């Protein structure tokens, strides 16, 4: 009986300490995965430490199981996910973080739900954010609440990128070749029957996260622009509202001047109004500019990532 293949796509950025720990943790649950062979696809996203060296050594030690892709520079996690999915060859494909915040022990249950319950995707969501800074947890919850209000795509609060998918769903994801990617939105946008497994938050096994509060903020802005045009509507509303307010005060000034012979004076008030209107205009231009910038980047048709080295190259050597 030919074994079905499970591909594990694992983005890595400065993760030399966690890669061996991740591999050992997955190998522990391998006996539970019935009639399944595992293909590890580690994607080195331009790491500055010894991540690539570790991957080379592990690929030589386990040539039948471990593959790796190494970028020419840091292209970001979204590019790493796309590259891993593009090179995965399994009937089932899972996306996982290497820091063990995505518990491998959920894989057997995820596989069962896809095989027996006929789901196309089994995702995961954290039911708690224990160990995470309070401000970060608060902002994350508010982000999901905002996205569900302004986007037609459903965003599950606490959902992780960690999920197991069928080949059909992965092919649908790969058909979306946009450079500006937000995977959580793409996973939802393509549809397919999806269920979620819940688990308690887990700390990193080793090392430090590369996600700062500022980088998460920029990532959230990209998500809003990628999956909602509401900010453009807000810009139009702000412009219309400012015009109506100015029209109202213009009428008040005319009435005071004609009926009460009360000429309008006051440079401070005039300067304040000019600055307020100018600020609103720049704010609206900034929103429009963000969308135009995204369109400009997409129109260049640049590749999502560039490979510098793979395990296949080393095997040829």
Q: What is the arrangement of strands in the sheet containing 92-95, beginning at the earlier edge strand? A: 194-199, 121-126, 159-166, 92-95, 4-12, 36-44, 66-71, 307-310
Is 218 part of any domain? no
106 and 168 fall within a common domain: yes
The 3-state DSSP class for residue 65 equals coil
pLDDT at residue 94, rounded to an integer: 92
268 and 189 fall within a common domain: no
pLDDT at residue 77, rounded to an integer: 85
82 in Cβ contact with 305 (< 8 Å): yes
Q: Rounded to an integer, what is the distance from CA 284 to the centroid of its chain?
A: 25
Q: Which two tokens stand for residue 126?
A: 């954290």
Q: Which two tokens stand for residue 179?
A: 């450079």
Strands 66-71 and 307-310 come out as: antiparallel
Rounded Cα gap, residues 98 and 54, in angstroms:
13
Rounded Cα gap, residues 288 and 231, in angstroms:
8
Is 223 part of any domain? no
pLDDT at residue 34, rounded to an integer: 75
Q: For 33-182, where are the alpha helices, taking DSSP H only?
A: 51-61, 77-87, 107-115, 134-150, 167-174
Is 129 part of any domain? yes
Rounded Cα gap, residues 47 and 61, in angstroms:
21
pLDDT at residue 260, rounded to an integer: 65
pLDDT at residue 187, rounded to an integer: 83
Mean pLDDT by 10 residues, the chain (317 residues): 83 88 89 85 90 90 89 88 90 89 88 87 79 66 69 72 90 85 80 84 58 61 64 67 69 68 59 68 72 73 86 66
pLDDT at residue 127, rounded to an integer: 77
27 and 103 fall within a common domain: yes
Q: Kindly give the interhelix angle for 230-260 and 267-299, rounded to the nearest 10 degrees.
A: 160
Q: Which residues contact 239 (CB under 8 A, 6 or more apart)?
A: 280, 281, 284
Query: What element of type H or E holds 218?
Result: helix 213-227
169 and 276 fall within a common domain: no
pTM: 0.72
Domain encompassing residue 250 = 230-299
In terms of residues, how long is the chain?
317
Count: domains in the chain:
2
CATH number of the domain enclosing 131: 3.90.550.10
Rounded Cα gap, residues 22 and 102, in angstroms:
10
306 in Cβ contact with 72 (< 8 Å): yes
107 in Cβ contact with 33 (< 8 Å): yes
């Amino acid at each position: 009986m030919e074994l079905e293949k499970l591909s594990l796509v694992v983005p890595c950025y400065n993760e030399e300490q966690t890669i061996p720990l991740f591999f050992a943790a997955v190998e522990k649950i391998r006996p539970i995965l019935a009639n399944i062979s595992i293909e590890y696809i580690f994607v080195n996203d331009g790491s500055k430490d010894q991540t690539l060296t570790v991957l080379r050594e592990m690929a030589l030690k386990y040539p039948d199981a471990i593959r790796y892709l190494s970028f020419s520079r840091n292209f970001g996690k979204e590019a790493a996910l796309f590259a891993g999915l593009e090179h995965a060859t399994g009937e089932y494909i899972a996306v996982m973080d290497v820091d063990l915040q995505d518990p491998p022990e959920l894989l057997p249950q995820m596989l069962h739900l896809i095989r027996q319950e006929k789901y196309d995707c089994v995702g995961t969501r954290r039911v708690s954010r224990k160990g995470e800074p309070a401000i970060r947890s608060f902002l994350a919850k508010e982000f999901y609440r905002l996205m569900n209000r302004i986007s037609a795509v459903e965003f599950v609060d606490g959902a992780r990128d960690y999920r197991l998918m069928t080949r059909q769903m992965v092919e649908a994801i790969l058909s979306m070749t946009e450079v500006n990617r937000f995977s959580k939105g793409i996973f939802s946008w393509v549809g397919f029957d999806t269920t979620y497994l819940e688990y308690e938050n887990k700390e990193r096994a080793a090392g430090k996260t590369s996600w700062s509060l500022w980088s998460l903020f920029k990532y959230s802005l990209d998500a809003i622009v990628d999956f909602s045009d509401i900010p453009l509507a807000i810009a139009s509303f702000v412009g219309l509202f400012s015009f109506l307010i100015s029209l109202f005060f213009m009428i008040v000034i005319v009435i005071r001047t004609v009926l009460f012979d009360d000429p309008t004076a006051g440079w401070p008030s005039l300067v304040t109004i000019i600055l307020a209107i100018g600020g609103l205009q720049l704010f609206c231009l900034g929103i429009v500019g963000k969308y135009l910038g995204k369109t400009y980047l997409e129109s260049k048709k640049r590749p999502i990532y560039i490979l510098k080295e793979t395990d296949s190259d080393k095997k040829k050597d």
